Structure 1
Amino acid sequence: MFEIKISQEIKDACPVFAGVAVYAKVRNTPFSEGLWTEIEAFTEELTTNSRIEDIKLQPVIAATREAYKRCGKDPGRYRPSSEALRRRLLRGIPLYRIDTLVDLINLVSLRTGHSIGGFDADKIVGNYLELGIGKAAEPFEGIGRGVLNIEGLPVYRDAVGGIGTPTSDHERTKMDIETTHILALINGYNGKDGLKEAAEMTQELLAKYAEGTEFEVCFYE
């Protein structure tokens, strides 16, 4: 498991921040029918019981949006991934089918409201990560987004540079069909509430749909 540090600038901007890391050995697949049955059930529940204007009121999403403002980013222009996923569904647009690991992380994010970074652990450089705030002109290639302006966004960095923000993760450390070790970072900008449950959900889904074993879980703040 990687050591994860929280920078002073994040502590100043979001004093209640807490996170949990889930590491596991996995086998990725292009598609899991059982997982997509769960995703479709959640989609039905969300679209039946929620309105698009309610999304930003969900407590975890609201706290993440507030953290963006405190770090210097407009959450209306750069949405946290959990908010963006819910908005997509409520606009009647189906989720992309990427692969089992990515789809699984998206489901946990949708259910909990936490923005979750899902990384190929073997692509991370060094033995620790630090959560800081993005700098002006800091290079960052978002997955499927090209160059992303991460100034003012919370960002995890390894020994090389940024690997993940609550809006998008980096191409360099993204999961793919060859991924055999996952690191999922669950971000609690509202504090510790719900982190244990989100970590347990992640482990259960990884065991069920990605042959997850050798789990390690680490809470940090």
Structure 2
Amino acid sequence: MLTISVSSEFSERVPQFRGAFLEVTVQNSATSPKLWAEIEASCEKLQADFTTETIKSRSSIAATRAAYKACGKDPSRYRPASEQLSRRVLQGKGLYSVDTLVDLGNLVSIFSGYPTGLLDADKIVGTSVELGIGRADEPYEGIGRGRLNIEGLPVYRDAVGAIASPTSDSTRTMLSPTTQRLLFIINAYDGDEQLLQESIDLALDLLQRYAHADEVRIVKF
């Protein structure tokens, strides 16, 4: 059973932050047409509500960018994943389908504007994870990014080191087709309790409908 805490160095700089995680057993698979249709509908709504110029003003994204600055990182050089996804959609480039778990995580992120972390819980070392701030020369391999400079980024660490950031999750805890236990993290940097709960509800609904979710544990922190 995993626990997550927030370090004082982070909470002092981003006091409004609220987070949640779902620890759940799952079955990963190729993305179904029904799930992809939901993703496309969410993308269409985003395009109706925002442009590439106005997306920065979305509360969830604006707060994430402000948190980056508070921690010491330029959000325009190291864009939060939720902003990366949103901008891609708004530029008309569309999204790539990876698998059920990754794609439904992206759907929650598009819906909320919050960066989400989807980790293989069996690859996490120890039983506790802490949210802190990246240090100079801290080793980190980002998925699809290679070696990533996480100094000044919000990062989650297990007993060995950094495992997730809102710019890119780590290759060390990345999902695979055989992932059986998922840690799904939702980062509400604006502290909006209602939107956070709606994001949790959506994540759980998607996991139950598309990933055979079982043994679900939900914790806010």
Which TM-score band (shorter chain)?
A: over 0.9
Question: What CA distance in whole angstroms lies between the structure 2 residues aligned with 1:101 and 1:139?
Answer: 26
Question: What CA distance in whole angstroms lies between the structure 2 residues aligned with 1:110 and 1:165?
Answer: 17
Deviation string for 1:44-86 (max 9, x for gaps)?
2222332111111110111110000000000011111111100
Task: State the identity as a percent.
Answer: 52
Q: Secondary structure, in 3 states, of the residue corresponding to 1:56?
A: helix
Query: Displacement of 1:15 after TM fit?
Result: 0.8
Question: What CA distance in whole angstroms lies between the structure 2 residues aligned with 1:131 and 1:173?
Answer: 15
Within 5 A, what are the aligned runs for 1:185-196? Answer: 185-193=185-193, 194-196=195-197
Query: Displacement of 1:33 after TM fit?
Result: 1.2
Query: Displacement of 1:92 after TM fit?
Result: 1.2
Question: What CA distance in whole angstroms lies between the structure 2 residues aligned with 1:214 and 1:68?
Answer: 34
Query: Displacement of 1:184 after TM fit?
Result: 0.6
The count of corresponding residues between Structure 1 and Structure 2 is 220
In the alignment, structure 1 residue 197 sits paired with structure 2 residue 180: no
Which residue of 2 is the match for residue 121 of structure 1?
121
Which residue of 2 is the match for residue 177 of structure 1?
177
Partner amino acid for 1:164? Answer: A
Q: Which runs of 5+ in 2 are unaligned?
A: none
Question: What CA distance in whole angstroms lies between the structure 2 residues aligned with 1:55 and 1:150?
Answer: 24
Which residue of 2 is the match for residue 44 of structure 1?
44
Within 5 A, what are the aligned runs for 1:67-216? Answer: 67-193=67-193, 194-216=195-217
Q: Secondary structure, in 3 states, of the residue corresponding to 2:137?
A: coil
Partner amino acid for 1:128? Answer: S
Give 4+ residue runs of structure 1 displaced > 6 Å after superposition.
none
Provide TM-score, normalisation by structure 2. Answer: 0.97
Q: Contact between 1:19 and 1:192, CA under 8 Å: does it hold in 2? A: no
Q: Contact between 2:108 and 2:202, CA under 8 Å: does it hold in 1? A: yes
Query: Displacement of 1:144 after TM fit?
Result: 1.1
Deviation string for 1:130-171 (max 9, x for gaps)?
000000110000001100000000000001110000100000
Query: Displacement of 1:192 after TM fit?
Result: 4.2
Query: Displacement of 1:195 after TM fit?
Result: 1.4
**Aligned-residue CA RMSD (Å):** 0.9
Q: Contact between 1:131 and 1:157, CA under 8 Å: does it hold in 2? A: yes
Query: Displacement of 1:179 after TM fit?
Result: 0.5
Query: Displacement of 1:43 after TM fit?
Result: 1.6
Partner amino acid for 2:201? Answer: E
Partner amino acid for 2:26? Answer: V
Q: Which runs of 5+ in 1 are unaligned?
A: none
Q: Secondary structure, in 3 states, of the residue corresponding to 2:132?
A: strand
Question: What CA distance in whole angstroms lies between the structure 2 residues aligned with 1:199 and 1:188?
Answer: 11
Partner amino acid for 2:150? Answer: I
Question: What CA distance in whole angstroms lies between the structure 2 residues aligned with 1:65 and 1:210?
Answer: 31
Query: Displacement of 1:30 after TM fit?
Result: 1.8
Q: Contact between 1:141 and 1:170, CA under 8 Å: does it hold in 2? A: yes
Question: What CA distance in whole angstroms lies between the structure 2 residues aligned with 1:109 and 1:209?
Answer: 17
Question: What CA distance in whole angstroms lies between the structure 1 residues aligned with 2:91 and 2:112?
Answer: 19
